[in-house]
Homo-oligomer: A and B are copies of this chain.
Amino acid sequence: MTLPISDLYESRYEREAAIVVRREPVVHQDESFNAPRPLSPELLQEYLQNGFLLLPGLFSQKEIAALNGEVESLASEPNIRKRQECIIEPESNAVRSIFMVHKLNRMMEQLSCDRRLVDIARQVLASDVYLHQTRVNLKPGFEGKEFYWHSDFETWHIEDGMPEMRAISFSILLTDNTVFNGPLMVISGSHQYFISCIGETPEENFRQSLQRQQFGVPDHDSLKMLCTLGGIRSMTGPPGTVVMFDCNIMHGSYGNISPYPRHNIFFVYNSVHNALHDPRYGLQPRPEHIAARDSISPIKPIMCDFSEGLSFDDPKIQRIRRA
């Protein structure tokens, strides 16, 4: 299935950069979809307006210690380093990201079904959801590299064929995120605009774009406009804070020369009504661990508590996810 030929969110085409006002709602509505509504109307309104929410203390310090331990052992496992899901820093040879962690690690799998995240995703997207992408990000101290401004939706739309803006991302902070260690920066309100980028996308762009972005790069004038309208905000907070943000918000981060690493777990939930089409421009689909096409059955939210390590030992969890 391909996207319609006339595409509102055209990008990387041989034309000038353009700014397009978003078509879809930010907070979706469906009267027939009944589900818990964990976010208050005030928080929902704030999310609608700014495109992000900071939720401090969503996970306890004990839970973070358990999750952190799991992430660190994953990153130091030689078998993991060899896998294609593992992205290595070009210069320092350190692990930068591990994709599809919910299939590589049992605790990450449980976490990806945690009510605290999934219920919010379902409320905002007004539908059942599935995992479009998961990963852990390890920004080391002293040598963490910057990541230039980009909209995830721009990439997912062009390279993965995601039809609409009906996805939401969660970043669970595992270490202190301060202005010193290269925190996520977002441009508040930028989720309301689609910045069409100039230039084309080469085949297999993802192999290097996960290390350094070169295509799908927004132009200076559009970025200036977005910053003037909404301002930049740093997503700082102690471990256990969760940052949730719209799939189309413009974000980036500067390098980390501080001694303090910046680790987080990153989950993207997509509406089941927004499953991927073919990529644009005849590009080959990216691998499953970067953009899910096969594992797209709805997630059943579960209650979790990671204070003592694994939340529970339920063999049904696999079946629930694949139900």
Closest to A227 in B: B259
A256 pairs with B254, CB closer than 8 A = yes
User: What residue in chain B is nearest A144 (Cβ atoms)?
Assistant: B254
**Interfacial chain B residues near A180, Cβ < 8 Å:** 185, 232, 234
Interface residues of A in 181-234 (CB under 8 A from B): 182, 185, 220, 223-224, 227, 232, 234
Residue numbers of A with Cβ under 8 A of B are 141-142, 146, 148-149, 179-180, 182, 185, 220, 223-224, 227, 232, 234, 252, 254-260
Q: Which residue of B lies closest to A232 (CB)?
A: B180
Residues of B near A185 (CB, < 8 A) are 180, 257
- A97 → chain B closest CB, angstroms: 19
Q: Which residues of B contact A227 (CB under 8 A)?
A: 258-260
A252 / chain B contacts, CB cutoff of 8 Å: 257
Cα-based distance from A224 to B252 in the complex (angstroms): 26
Q: CA separation between A220 and B256, bound complex, in Å?
A: 13
Least distance between A255 CB and chain B CB atoms (Å)? 5
Cα-based distance from A185 to B148 in the complex (angstroms): 21
B259 touches A146 (CB 8 A): no
Q: Identify A257's interface contact among B148, B224, B259, CB under 8 A.
A: B148
Nearest chain B CB to A289 CB, angstrom units: 27
Interchain nearest-CB distance for A257 vs B (Å): 5
Nearest residue, chain B, Cβ from A260? B227
Q: Are A257 and B257 in contact (CB under 8 A)?
A: no
Q: A227-B258, A232-B258 are in contact. List 19 more A-B contacts (CB 8 A).
A: A141-B220, A142-B223, A146-B254, A148-B257, A179-B179, A179-B234, A180-B185, A180-B232, A185-B257, A220-B259, A223-B259, A224-B259, A227-B259, A252-B257, A254-B254, A254-B255, A254-B256, A254-B257, A255-B255
Q: Are A182 and B259 in contact (CB under 8 A)?
A: no
Enumerate chain B residues within 8 angstroms of A259, measured Cβ to Cβ.
Answer: 220, 223-224, 227
CB of A157, distance to nearest CB on chain B (Å): 22
A-B CB contact pairs (8 Å), 18 listed: A141-B220, A146-B254, A146-B255, A146-B257, A149-B257, A179-B234, A180-B232, A180-B234, A182-B254, A220-B259, A223-B259, A224-B259, A227-B258, A252-B257, A254-B254, A254-B255, A254-B256, A254-B257
